[in-house]
Amino acid sequence: MNRVLAFLGAGEFEPWSEVVDRWVLERSDGDGSVLVLPTASAPEGDDVFDGWARKGLAHFASLGVPAAVLPIRRREDAEREDLASDAVWKPGSSYVRVVLFAPHWDTVERWYPGAHAFIQRSVRPGETLVGIDEATAMVGDGATWEVLGRSAVHVYRAGRWMRAPAGERFRLPLEMGPPGEV
């Protein structure tokens, strides 16, 4: 299976992310349209959810990319036949196992001094921490990655840090699939 993955540190739907969106669209199968799922914003209320939905639609319209919003606010919505019946489902990354993703990596210390050390200490043996700075993305196929955007990706694995700045490529094979699947 051809995997096309993008992990963003923050700033989706902002002008900088056009390069990320184009990278994904150029490598993806399908009709070139996208679904916007502002699900993560749902706990903040309908106004915030709707705001992210509008921002996503406007962003993709500015790129000339057809987009629609899938209004999934909670698990029950994801199980609704009327929302799931029109979707074209393809296997995705499913789960990325033994990896902790930390968005906003370059700003998290301002919110909570000591957060980097706390997060690093929570990485268990065999796990990997991937910190992604704001306005930055790592894009790739699940093993080979490129850093796009303003800043860097920071990888902590086996007790060592690696920093990959924008424009750099690096190898980081990620274990993917539901638990127990090989």
| Sequence spans of domains, the chain | 5-84, 96-176
Q: Which residues pair with 112 in a beta bridge?
A: none
> How many CA atoms, within 13 angstroms, populate the side-chain half-sphere of residue 65?
22
Q: What is the pLDDT of residue 89?
A: 53
Residues 43, 44, 49, 55: is their CA dihedral positive or negative? negative
pLDDT for position 80? 86
- How many residues make up the chain in this entry? 182
pLDDT above 90 covers a percentage of the chain that reads 75
Query: pLDDT-based confidence at 179, cuts 50/70/90?
Result: low
The reported pLDDT for the residue numbered 166 is 98
91 contacts 118 by C-beta, under 8 angstroms = no
pTM greater than 0.95 (yes/no) = no
Which amino acid does the sequence have at 103?
P
- Helix (H) or strand (E) run with residue 6 in it: strand 5-8
